[in-house]
A and B are shown apart, each in its own frame.
Chain A
């Protein structure tokens, strides 16, 4: 019963593992470039939750610092990624990655 009443390390880690898996699932199954990028965002945030949790239970600020940098970086990456996706849309008139495939073996 205690498992349901007290929130501990494992709860956080489970959430982050689920988020990570959902992110990977989105990346692997979706064809829309924007949705893939959303999946990447989930993966990064799963790692963030890990860092914050471990920081809380291990002590020390290293994990908190790490996650703050990751948040900033995710924003930078999203900016570059969206610029590239917009350019793709201008060139190919679609953001479906399976149709943006002109180079072949």
Chain B
């Protein structure tokens, strides 16, 4: 049935692989960085947390150079259709490297994390591994690569979540993340196997071709769709696959919470978009098929449910990390709104929104870490009166939260505006979804503003006499993140242009 390849065939395989490697340099570089960090950890003795963090930041920033060089390369499919190089992928490569850098910066500042006896060891190496995995998630064009890169991200994330081994909350978070993650990736895999059975292909553009040419059994396809959605919905943290996220976000070390809520979620969205736009035949191809309608309906329901559930349940939260977890569920809903438009404006809006989400969410978690360093608590009650003691942190947190609500003049406003603009003019149903989005944003105003309210307008019943001054470096980072959030809210043109330029995927025609 299967014949051994001849010598010439093997030669041609090797040459294809070598040609593909030229387009794969950022990932190869990061894999090397991963190993260097592990060796560095072994070689260095004593207090090495700072050195490891600096090495990781420098190494990650070095990647930006290699990614920048990819702009000159033409769009291509590499490694026998396993992987693609396109503008969409390059956007996410930048995105994940920056997320990784910021996660390392927050980790280096987190005193609780650094005070561990066990040391930071593989922590930074695992962050780099996650960056590689997320990059690969955004660029995979084959079911196999998609699955493997998702698992690379997930396995690193499980370990990072449980990194505070002595702390029950962290271990519990890791267990919950693991159980939900393993089950949903199993469901995703089963869905992939059904798609493979229907089409005999694993490359997503070939799947799309096969489905539109030869048709398919709608029942099996719906089943496969639901299973794949379960796996992807878990990654993006949307209702009804969100059960893990509040507990994991609360229990994980705060830098990892920030990293998961931005990086892992964005990677899930990148994969979802590529899978959705490429593998599913477009209705615009002239075939008004059941499939794309099913996908759209499922995504619409998930999106509306996430917006409503996330924003409403967040109202009762007493822990700031948990509150931000529910807010991130709501944001998954807003991002899905951009995807269901299935056009270029919608994709641009999603990319822009993700960029703004990166700044404001990481910023908010950064301030949570800065405050937790001083008070040792993440409870809303313990934020009372802190605004006067830590004016900079208070002001910055207020800016990030205003941006998360989506009020001008912040970056978050531009993101939401783009999403709602993309929805308008698409039909009645989309208008209703936009309406849900706007109304739930109003609800979110309430719970976000509870935090500044506690910080500035309520007095603490505790003694706040101790020293609340923070270091120069942490002040500088806070200011930079805060200023950028406002700056891009006013001068968003370059980012919007770049998002538009990046809304181009290998094998998908977006109008």
Contact = CB atoms under 8 A, between A and B. Distances in A.
Interface of A: 13, 20, 23-24, 27, 33, 36-37, 39-40, 43-44, 46-48, 50-51, 53-54, 58-63, 65-66, 69-70, 73, 76-77, 80-81, 83-85, 87-88, 91-92, 97, 100-103, 105
A102 B169 CA distance: 7
B182 A46 contact: no
Interface string B195-234: 0110011100000000000000000000000000000000
B183 A97 contact: no
B158 A105 contact: no
B178 A66 contact: no
Given A69-B148, A73-B151, A77-B155, A84 B250 contact: no
Interface string B150-177: 0100010011001001101101111100
18 contacts: A24-B183, A33-B175, A40-B183, A43-B190, A44-B189, A46-B190, A47-B186, A58-B197, A58-B200, A60-B200, A61-B2, A66-B192, A69-B147, A80-B155, A81-B182, A87-B174, A97-B179, A102-B168
Interface string B463-504: 000000000000000000000000000000000000000000
B247 interface: yes
Nearest to B326: A105
Kindly list the 5 A-B residue pairs having the minimum CB-CB distance in the complex, ordered from nearest.
A43-B186, A50-B193, A58-B200, A54-B197, A47-B189
Interface of B: 1-2, 143-144, 147-148, 151, 155, 158-159, 162, 165-166, 168-169, 171-175, 178-179, 182-183, 186-187, 189-190, 192-194, 196-197, 200-202, 246-247, 250-251, 313, 316-317, 322
A53 B197 CA distance: 8
Is chain B's interface secondary structure helix, strand, loop, or mixed overall?
A: helix
Given A43-B186, A53-B197, 19 more contacts: A33-B179, A43-B189, A43-B190, A44-B186, A47-B189, A58-B200, A59-B1, A60-B200, A62-B196, A65-B144, A66-B147, A70-B147, A73-B147, A73-B151, A84-B159, A100-B175, A102-B172, A103-B247, A103-B251
Nearest to A9: B197
A102 B200 CA distance: 46
Contact of B200 (A23, A27, A54, A103): A54
B249 to A, nearest CB: 10
Contact of B316 (A23, A40, A100, A105): A105
A5 to B, nearest CB: 23
B202 A66 contact: yes
Contacts of B193: 47-48, 50-51, 54, 63, 66
Nearest to A19: B190
Nearest to A54: B197
A70 B190 CA distance: 11
Nearest to B183: A27
B172 A50 contact: no
Contact of B158 (A46, A62, A73, A80): A80
A59 B251 contact: no
Contacts of B316: 105
A63 B196 contact: yes
A84 B162 contact: yes
A14 B414 CA distance: 51
B178 A80 contact: yes
Contacts of A91: 166, 168, 171
A68 to B, nearest CB: 10
A77 B169 contact: no
A45 to B, nearest CB: 9
B74 to A, nearest CB: 26
A73 B192 CA distance: 15
B143 A66 contact: yes
Most chain A beta-carbon contacts within 10 A, residue among B166, B197, B246, B313: B197
A43 B212 CA distance: 29
B175 A84 contact: yes
